[in-house]
């Protein structure tokens, strides 16, 4: 009985930004729990390579390349897939970007790009999927937030703003859509060794600071996000809505 609470057999998951890093790790983890996968990204070559690797591991994988920042493109892609292939039961809004600069010098175009990539994409893809989920009376939406949803650090104020917005947009989704059978939650990673953090991982001074600042004393491994993602995707979280789960080694719990 308890094992069935975390069984994703027969469910299909769309994961945006899933050709590398956290998105790819979550795709691999959900496949291990029984889900079939729909990978999304803008780089078709990287997407195809990720799909081949996952298929070689036994996963059932399809690809759906589209630009998550384009509202019309997201809706067309999701509607087309649902019509031709069937339901998307789980959405993980993982696509995101970072830009580091002192706030007083932060380029306006980079700020706008962050808004589109980190916030508008969440709205675009969630709305496209939710229309179908609402009609079926069921669906799981997981938005990838961040430790910066709760905390700030010098040089990334606009990123921090976008991730705070992701948390509140998640609450809004739950408020509007829970009555239709959807579970809308956010997963907030701490500092993980990913391509997005490559510059920080390569900086010995930053890694030393992070290890001292984090109660767990180390960088996170992307595989350590899988358990929380499966929980939020599975029947186990049937009455969990509008919640942000931090997977951060304790950094948000400690001064």
Q: Which residues contact 99 (CB under 8 A, 6 or more apart)?
A: 106, 107, 110, 113, 114, 156, 158, 159
The three-state (H, E, C) secondary structure of 109-158, written as one string: HHHHHHHHHHHHHHHHHHHHHHHHHHHHCCEEEEEECCHHHCCCCCCCHH
The CATH number of whichever domain residue 46 belongs to comes to: 3.40.50.720
In 6-98, alpha helices (H):
21-32, 44-56, 71-84
Classify residue 69: in a domain, yes or no. yes
**Catalytic status, residue 159:** yes
Q: Which domain holds residue 24?
A: 3-248
CB 108: neighbour CB atoms within 10 A? 7
Per residue of the chain (255 residues), give pLDDT as tens: 577 999 999 999 999 999 999 999 999 999 999 999 999 999 999 999 999 999 999 999 999 999 999 999 999 999 999 999 999 999 999 999 999 999 999 999 999 999 999 999 999 999 999 999 999 999 999 999 999 999 999 999 999 999 999 999 999 999 999 999 999 999 999 999 888 788 889 999 999 999 999 999 999 999 999 999 999 999 999 999 999 999 999 999 998
The three-state (H, E, C) secondary structure of 20-45, written as one string: CHHHHHHHHHHHHCCCEEEECCCCHH
Classify residue 253: in a domain, yes or no. no
Classify residue 48: in a domain, yes or no. yes
Classify residue 207: in a domain, yes or no. yes
Please give the model's pTM, rounded to 2 decimal places. 0.96
Classify residue 254: in a domain, yes or no. no
Catalytic residue among 159, 192, 219, 231: 159
Q: How many domains does the chain have?
A: 1
| Angstrom distance (rounded) from CA 9 to CA 26 | 16
What's the token pair of residue 115? 């808004």
| Angstrom distance (rounded) from CA 115 to CA 134 | 26
CB 23: neighbour CB atoms within 10 A? 25
Classify residue 131: in a domain, yes or no. yes
Classify residue 220: in a domain, yes or no. yes
Classify residue 112: in a domain, yes or no. yes
């Amino acid at each position: 009985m308890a094992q069935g609470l975390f069984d994703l057999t027969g469910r299909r998951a769309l994961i945006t930004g899933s050709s590398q890093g956290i998105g790819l790790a979550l795709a691999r983890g959900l496949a291990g729990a029984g889900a079939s996968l729909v990978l999304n990204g803008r780089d078709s070559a990287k997407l195809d390579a990720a799909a081949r690797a996952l298929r070689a591991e036994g996963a059932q994988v399809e690809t759906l390349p589209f630009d998550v920042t384009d509202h019309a493109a997201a809706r067309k892609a999701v509607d087309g897939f649902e019509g031709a292939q069937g339901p998307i039961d789980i959405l993980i809004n993982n696509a995101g970007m970072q830009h580091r600069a002192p706030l007083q010098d932060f380029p306006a175009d980079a700020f706008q790009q962050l808004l589109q990539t980190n916030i508008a994409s969440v709205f675009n893809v969630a709305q496209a999927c939710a229309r179908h989920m609402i009609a079926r009376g069921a669906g799981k939406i997981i938005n990838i937030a961040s430790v910066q949803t709760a905390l700030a650090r010098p040089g990334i104020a606009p990123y921090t703003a976008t991730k705070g917005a992701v948390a509140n947009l998640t609450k809004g989704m739950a408020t509007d859509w829970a009555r239709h059978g959807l579970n809308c939650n956010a997963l907030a990673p701490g500092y993980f060794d990913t391509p997005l953090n490559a510059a920080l991982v390569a900086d010995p001074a930053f890694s030393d600071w992070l290890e001292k600042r984090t109660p767990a004393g180390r960088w996170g491994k992307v595989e350590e996000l899988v358990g929380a993602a499966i929980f939020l995707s599975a029947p186990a979280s049937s009455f969990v809505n509008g919640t942000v789960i931090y997977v951060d080694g304790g950094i948000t719990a400690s001064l």
